[in-house]
Amino acid sequence: MKMIFGRGVRLALAVGLAGTMALGACAEDESTAAADSIEVAGTWTTPFSDQGELISDTQWGTPDFMVDVVSFDNDANFAVTQNLADAEYAPSMFNKNVWTEPDATGFYYCTVAFGLDTAEAAAAADASVADTNDLDAGCGGFGWTHLTR
């Protein structure tokens, strides 16, 4: 059986197919975008600043001490950051922050390496000094910071 469609029906089918494909692509883009974002993104209440602490895919810190995010790994719960060129301590040097899994109360993070020469050295820095089972013990000479919403 041969089916004959008029121009309007062919156009409607083409538009419908394109729309379905676009919706599928949007859904894929949204899930990919969420997976590509740092899981602790947001503006958090911190004990160090009345203005809060901002974390995004590109920045981490308070208005008084902001660093650039160079890379992050949500599975391993760490971010490599770089101090700003005009930072008081270790200008332009690299650091490694680790964090606990976020929950409804927030999460904890600490700096396990500070002032390293390269982003690669920061990423490779030993995070075992950060014991998530003993937050009172601190990590790498720094304390854990609790961020809340």
Q: Are residues 7 and 77 in the same domain?
A: no
Q: Tell me what pLDDT residue 138 has.
A: 78
The structural domain count of the chain equals 2
Mean pLDDT of 17-27: 40
pLDDT at 145: 93
Whether residue 13 is predicted with pLDDT greater than 50 in this model: the reply is: no
Question: Do 69 and 17 share a structural domain?
Answer: no
Segment 71-115, tens digit of pLDDT: 999 999 999 999 999 999 999 999 999 999 999 889 999 999 999
Order across the sheet with 107-116: list the strands: 42-46, 49-55, 59-62, 65-73, 78-83, 94-99, 107-116, 145-147
Q: Are both 10 and 71 inside the same structural domain?
A: no
Q: Which domain holds residue 32?
A: 1-36
